[in-house]
Amino acid sequence: MNLDALALPSIEQLLLIAAATVLASTIAAVAGFGGSAILLPLLVPAFGARDAVLILTIIQLVGNASRVVFNRHELVLPVVAWFSLGAVPFAVLGGIAFASAPLGVLTRLLGIFLIALVVWRHLPLPLLRGRRMQLRGFALLGAVSSFISALIGTIGPLLVPFFLSYGLMRGAYIGTEALSTVVIQVAKLATYAGTAVLTPLAVVAGVAFAPLMVVGSLIGKRMLNRLSDRVFILIVEGTMLAAGVAFLLDL
């Protein structure tokens, strides 16, 4: 693997990304997502948009796997099984489309959707609120989320209201959502490799930053155990709003 001809980011950029990786993983370990909203704005100028998505996928795979391990006693495996039914084939389709897809429009649409989800959760509409997510519905959720994730690199915030509405909280939510996301990321990486868009630089950078995700996950897990359900929901929704604005503005 020859990296001599590849344009590498500066030392300052690498140090900033390393620090942001720990912070991103800590936030994701508490809220279940949000790490990508921190990392993408730093990865894109350092590595370019396409490699940034590839690097983020590798980093997220390790980060989510560590959250699975830290919350392994609270996993709800039937949710993961139904989610995987839709996630695997559509992650492959999304990975194939990734090579030529325009990322900017999808990113802004995702931002609008995230903000709308938070607003929806607080609207006084009795027909919309209080509905419980059905187990089989996770197959459709897996299909939609995995396809979008393969195109823009992340989809974590989209999953939040559906996992919460099923009744998952704290460790059960974090671990189950993380394992579901691992399924997406493994299918994505296999497809990226098969379509020859997975570059040596993306692999090296992703592997280099990945251990920092474990550090952040451990910090976040210790914080999660001290949170009340109310504070947990506030953190989740606050992170959703922040991620939505970042995506909408394409930051």
Q: In 172-238, where do the E strands start and end?
A: none
Q: Is residue 1 part of a domain?
A: no
Averaged pLDDT of the chain: 79
Is the pTM higher than 0.85? no
> Considering the chain, what percentage of its residues have pLDDT values greater than 70?
76
* pLDDT value of position 2: 42
Q: Which residue has the higher pLDDT, 130 or 87?
A: 87
Q: Which domain holds residue 41?
A: 11-248
- 5 within domain boundaries: no
In a domain, residue 189? The reply is: yes
Query: C-alpha dihedral over 100, 199, 204, 53, to 10 degrees?
Result: 0
Output the CA angle 90-95-100, nearest 5 degrees: 130
How does pLDDT run across 213-222, given as a tens digit for each residue? 888 878 877 7
Query: How far apart are the C-alpha atoms of 57 and 50, rounded to whole Å?
Result: 11
User: What's the average model confidence in pLDDT over 86-99?
Assistant: 88
Furthest CA-CA distance within the chain: 60
The residue-averaged pLDDT of 94-102 equals: 77
pLDDT class of 157 with cuts at 50, 70, 90:
low
Q: Is residue 144 part of a domain?
A: yes
Confidence (pLDDT) at 3: 44
Please indicate, yes or no, if residue 30 is contained in any of the structural domains.
yes
User: DSSP labels for 110-173?
Assistant: HHHHHHHHHHHHTS--TTTTTPPPPTTHHHHHHHHHHHHHHHHS--HHHHHHHHHHTT--HHHH
Q: Is the pLDDT of residue 123 over 70?
A: no
Question: Would the pLDDT of 1 be above 70?
Answer: no
Is residue 198 in a domain? yes
CA 19 vs CA 3, 24, 82, 235, 241: distances in Å: 23, 9, 36, 21, 22
In a domain, 2, yes or no: no
Average pLDDT over residues 5-32: 77
Q: Is the pLDDT of residue 82 over 50?
A: yes
Question: From the centroid of its chain, how far is CA 242?
Answer: 14
Instruction: Please report the sign of the dihedral spanned by the C-alpha atoms of residue 164, residue 167, residue 169, residue 172.
Output: negative
Which comes out higher in pLDDT, residue 186 or 37? 186
| Mean pLDDT comparison of 31-45, 113-127, 210-224, highest-scoring range | 210-224
User: How many distinct structural domains can be found in the chain?
Assistant: 1
Examine residue 154 and state whether it is found in any structural domain, yes or no.
Answer: yes
> Residues with Cβ < 8 Å from 98, sequence gap 6 or more?
53, 150, 151, 191, 192, 195, 197
> Residue with structure tokens 């995987």?
84
Give, to the nearest 10 degrees, the angle between helix 137-152 and helix 77-98: 30
The whole-number average pLDDT for the span 71-84 is 94
Q: Is the pLDDT of residue 129 over 60?
A: no
